[in-house]
Amino acid sequence: MYADHSHREAQLARLRATAAQPHRRILLTGATVVTMDAALGVLPAGDVLIEGDTIAAVGAGINAEDAIVIDVTGAILTPGFVDTHRHAWEAQLRRLMPDVDDLAGYVTSTLMGYAPAYRPHDMYVGTRLAALTAIDSGITTMLDFSHNSRTAEHSDQAVRALLDTGIRGVHAAMAPHFGDWDKQWPADVARLREQYESKLLTFRLATLATDEIAGPALAYGPELAEAARRLGVGVSIDAVFGTPSSQAILGWERQGLLGPDVTLIHATGLTADAWRAIGDTGTTIALAPTSDAQIGLETAIPAVDEALAAGVRPGLSIDVEVALASDMFTQMRALHAIQRMRAVNAVYGTGAEPRRISTSDVLDFATLQGARTNGLGDVTGSLTPGKQADLLVIGAQDVNTMPLNDAVGTVVLGADARNIDTVFIAGQVRKWGGRLLDVDLAALRDEVAASREHILRAAA
């Protein structure tokens, strides 16, 4: 991994020259391999063999004479992180309201104020920026909860942005909360699937839990559940908060509208009965740790304890970059710290043993469980032979990660985006030597700035 620059550039040139070969083999050798596969565990010095877009073998001393051999000694190999919920189109508005105090403030400013000003081109720019940032920080799969689908062209541009970056994308389409739109949703999802679905791009229906924010048309229920079944897609449900959502969940249970293909996002402040229904039906959960805590959503406590008690291992997500960090390292650390603080506080002074989650738990949530939550558990999320080759090379000899004593602890508590040396998605290299590939940063900067200025002017 720490070979000289010219050698690394020669390796990259060979990878690029052979990228179209369907059976091209790459052998990553000598790393500490964190597989996130219960049967394989952590290999202190292991190899990963990629064939085409697939993980062909994981182990020690793999012999592959015809492979492009990349020595990653001194690094950690992990599966790529999986983001289960991000409103990618908002990326031009990053940190525009870093101290937003509540959900109403976000809804009023962003969904009511800025969203109607977006042109299709702005959807492309925001979504592409979010996806590139995701790849740069080690997120190889991103569910884009695209709730500004004003026209078919708005949706097309959001989808094309995912495709152009090479990320493993899940486009979850929803109509806008406020303003004019063409009423093409949800039927237009059928066209999107037919036109764009591929190994790297899948689709879901995005909805809200109740009618409190944007009215009944966007609230999950029998009509939207039937639409999802007709379309053959899963459902991601946002704004799952408190008593109204708890009552809705029990209603969905009675109607047979819950299950593994349904994801509830946030899930803060739910009742015990609602959690029982979630666990009984195998419904999945997407937590947004910094969103819940920083914006103050319902109880403001990420519902990891409640999920685990119900038998659900959740995925993690970024949510809204208008007020939050963009990377999975922040989500893992926030959840790890909040849950452990809460566990110790709950038994303080009693002598009882706190029930704390581990760094292995949160890395599981950020990889394998995120993939399962997105409906891709058989595709990605672990370094398992037969799965897609979505993986990270993380520097473990950098100033903030050396010396390597515990690989999982280093990934969760020590590393950050600067240590993501290499990113493979479906066997294709998307980041190499610490830099994103195929991105003109100067042109991107100009495009993002111009899009932002248009949105701010039009909204004003």
Mean pLDDT to the nearest integer, 67-80: 97
Do 409 and 314 have their domain in common? no
pLDDT at 76: 98
Based on the fold, state whether residues 228 and 308 are members of the same structural domain.
yes
Same domain, 427 and 401: yes
Looking at the structure, tell me whether residues 198 and 326 fall in a common domain.
Answer: yes
How far is the C-alpha of 288 from the C-alpha of 297, rounded, in Å? 10
pLDDT for residue 415: 98
Q: Kindly give, in sequence order, each residue whose CB lies less than 8 Å from that of residue 10, ignoring residues fewer than 6 positions away.
A: none
Confidence (pLDDT) at 5: 82
Residues 299 and 353 reside in one and the same domain: yes
Give the residue, 212 or 162, on which the prediction is more confident. Answer: 162
Res 2: pLDDT = 63
Name the band, by pLDDT with cuts 50, 70 and 90, for residue 261: very high
Q: Tell me whether residue 130 is in a domain.
A: yes
Q: What integer best gives the mean pLDDT of the chain?
A: 97
Query: Buried (b) or exposed (e) across 18-28, using 16+ Cβ within 10 A?
Result: eeeeeebbbbb
Same domain, 276 and 397: no
Among 320, 375, 367, 352, CA closest to 79:
367
Domain count, the chain: 2
In this structure, the answer to whether residues 365 and 415 fall within a common structural domain is no
Same domain, 234 and 359: yes
Same domain for 261 and 288?
Answer: yes
Q: Which residue is it, tokens 């950690």?
A: 76
Please check whether residue 95 is in contact with residue 323, taking contact to mean a CB–CB distance below 8 angstroms.
yes
Residue 93 belongs to a domain with what CATH number?
3.20.20.140
In which domain, by residue range, is 391 found?
5-79+381-436
Is the residue at 450 inside a domain?
Answer: no
For position 20, which CATH number holds? 2.30.40.10
Average of per-residue pLDDT across 221-245:
97
Whole-structure pTM value: 0.97
Residue range 396-421: mean pLDDT, rounded: 98
Whole-angstrom distance, CA of residue 38 vs CA of residue 123: 39
Query: Residues 28, 153: one domain?
Result: no
What integer is the mean pLDDT of 23-52? 97
Indicate whether 47 belongs to any domain: yes
90 and 70 in a single domain? The answer is: no
101 and 18 co-located in one domain: no
What are 327-346's pLDDT values in tens digits? 999 999 999 999 999 999 99
Question: Which of 341, 373, 405 is where one domain is finished?
Answer: 373
* Helical spans, DSSP H, in 348-440: 359-366, 368-373, 407-409
Residue 29 lies in a domain: yes
Q: Which pLDDT score is estimated for 214?
A: 77
Q: Determine the average pLDDT of the residues in 373-401.
A: 98
Residue 446 is assigned to a structural domain of this protein: no
**pLDDT higher than threshold 80 for residue 3:** no
